[in-house]
């Protein structure tokens, strides 16, 4: 059903990036921050943490002292049923907020695992309140991000509940390609996809075998190419059509 290894984690911090120099911030997808906001973020950030590919960053049912932001790499969030079946909720890309649940509620309701080597920015959970109290614009951003995340999962749910296999696969691949594009990890209709067909299956509620056959159909129809982690879109319009995907829509978002 799933495939969960869990190589070593390595939360070590060396020299950390000043939020003012954050490499993500210049990307057009992120809104501009004021100097005050940047100063606070810098003081809020308590460190960075590196995890190698395949590490479990947060575990369903546990509780972390930190809130994270993904600075570089790919990760994923998933839930597991008691008997091991696994559902990937979504993929995390640079700029995504991770572990808010454990900061705001009692414990994590899902796990987080890296797909590549990753760097996370660390924010101490107990200073989140400070953010809400003294930086309402940032608090608003946190809510915005959470609300957007909720919507993404809802879109995903609609896929799994009501789209056919080929529609689902087309949708997910297109979705991930576009998200990667927004953070500079894709371009020219090509992207490096660090996940396997098993991951796609676990995200779409399908078996690996059927996932494979479905992907092959898209490849044979010359809509995509995907080999050795290198992904390419050959016919975006047709792909979007199959996916019932709306190619418009694109809003600026905050990067806390």
Partner DNA sequence: CGACTTGTTGATGTACATCAAGGTACGTGG
Partner DNA sequence: CCACGTACCTTGATGTACATCAACAAGTCG
Q: Closest approach of Cβ 45 to a second copy, in Å?
A: 19
Q: Does 210 bind a second copy (CB under 8 A)?
A: no
Cα–Cα distance, 119 to 69 (Å, whole number): 9
Using CB under 8 A, pick the residue from 45, 163, 175, 178 that binds a second copy.
Answer: 163
How, if at all, do strands 66-72 and 118-124 pair? antiparallel
Q: Which does 213 bind (CB under 5 to 8 A by kind): a second copy, DNA, none?
A: DNA
177 touches 225 (CB < 8 A) = no
Question: Between residues 72 and 111, which has the closer beta carbon with respect to a second copy?
Answer: 111
Q: Does 133 bind DNA (CB under 7 A)?
A: no
140 touches 148 (CB < 8 A) = no
Question: Between residues 119 and 169, which has the closer beta carbon with respect to a second copy?
Answer: 169
Using CB under 7 A, pick the residue from 207, 235, 236, 244 that binds DNA.
Answer: 207
Structure tokens at 96: 């995504």
Starting at the edge strand found earlier in the chain, the sheet holding 97-98 runs: 9-10, 47-51, 118-124, 66-72, 97-98
11 touches 49 (CB < 8 A) = yes
Using CB under 8 A, pick the residue from 9, 16, 38, 104 that binds a second copy.
Answer: 104
Q: Which does 116 bind (CB under 5 to 8 A by kind): DNA, a second copy, none?
A: none
Closest CA to 168 of 160, 157, 176: 160
**Cβ count near 97 (within 10 Å):** 21
3-state secondary structure of 146: helix
Show Cβ contacts of residue 43 under 8 Å, excluding neighbours closer than 6 positions: none
Q: Which does 227 bind (CB under 5 to 8 A by kind): a second copy, DNA, none?
A: DNA
Using CB under 8 A, pick the residue from 8, 28, 161, 188 that binds a second copy.
Answer: 161
Closest CA to 33 of 45, 42, 197: 42
Using CB under 8 A, pick the residue from 43, 155, 210, 247 that binds a second copy.
Answer: 155
Q: Which does 29 bind (CB under 5 to 8 A by kind): DNA, a second copy, none?
A: none
Q: Does 209 bind a second copy (CB under 8 A)?
A: no
Report the half-sphere exposure of 36 (CA within 13 A, side-chain side).
Answer: 6
- Judged by the rule CB under 8 A, the positions of this chain that interact with a second copy are 1, 79, 81-83, 85-87, 89, 100-101, 104-106, 109-110, 129, 132-133, 136-137, 139-140, 142-144, 146-151, 153-158, 160-163, 204-205, 244, 251
Provide the binding-site residues for DNA, judged by CB under 7 A.
1, 3, 5, 164-166, 196-198, 205-213, 215-216, 227
């Amino acid at each position: 059903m799933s495939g969960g290894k869990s190589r070593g984690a390595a939360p070590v911090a060396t020299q950390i990036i000043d939020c003012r120099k954050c490499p993500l911030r210049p990307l057009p997808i992120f809104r501009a921050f004021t100097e005050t906001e940047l100063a606070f973020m810098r003081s809020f950030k308590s460190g960075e943490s590196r995890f190698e590919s395949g590490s479990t960053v947060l575990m369903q049912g546990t509780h972390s002292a930190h809130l994270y932001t993904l600075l570089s790499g790919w990760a994923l969030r998933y839930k597991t049923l008691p008997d091991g079946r696994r559902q990937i909720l979504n993929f995390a890309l640079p700029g995504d907020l991770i572990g808010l649940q454990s900061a705001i509620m009692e414990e994590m309701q899902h796990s987080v695992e890296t797909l590549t080597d990753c760097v996370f920015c660390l924010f101490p959970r107990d200073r989140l309140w400070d953010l809400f109290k003294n930086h309402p614009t940032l608090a608003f951003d946190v809510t915005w991000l959470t609300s957007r995340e909720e919507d993404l999962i809802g879109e995903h749910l609609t896929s799994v509940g009501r789209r056919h296999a080929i529609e689902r696969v087309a949708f997910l691949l297109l979705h991930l390609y576009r998200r990667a594009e927004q953070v500079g990890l894709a371009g020219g209709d090509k992207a490096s996809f660090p996940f396997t067909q098993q991951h796609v299956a676990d995200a779409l509620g399908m078996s690996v075998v059927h996932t494979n056959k479905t992907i092959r159909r898209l490849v044979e129809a010359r809509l995509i190419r995907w080999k050795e982690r290198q992904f390419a879109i050959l016919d975006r319009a047709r792909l979007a059509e199959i996916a019932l995907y709306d190619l418009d829509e694109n809003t600026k978002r905050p990067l806390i």
